[in-house]
Amino acid sequence: MDICVTVENPGYRIKYRRIDRRKIPQRHQLTREATMKFITEVFSVEVIE
């Protein structure tokens, strides 16, 4: 089964809002490795690249 998931930190909406848009700082952005580790630990699933 193929599943596509979007994972974002809280506050990510500032990138898309209409008024007072801001860039997301590098320290607040999620990395691919950190996201895969989170999904594996929390949901007990196997991630295949």
| Residue range 1-49, pLDDT digits in tens | 788 888 999 999 999 999 999 999 999 999 999 999 999 999 998 888 7
Give the pair of three-digit tokens for residue 14. 């500032």
Domain, as residue range, for 22: 1-49
Inter-residue long-range contacts of 30-38, CB under 8 Å, 24+ positions, other chains counted: 35/7, 38/7
Given a contact cutoff of 8 angstroms between Cβ atoms, the answer to whether 30 and 9 are in contact is: yes
Specify the number of domains making up the chain: 1
pLDDT for 31: 92
pLDDT for 4: 86
Report if pTM > 0.75.
no
Instruction: Strands of 1-49 (E only): list them.
Output: none
3-state SS of the chain: helix, strand, coil percent to 5? 40, 0, 60
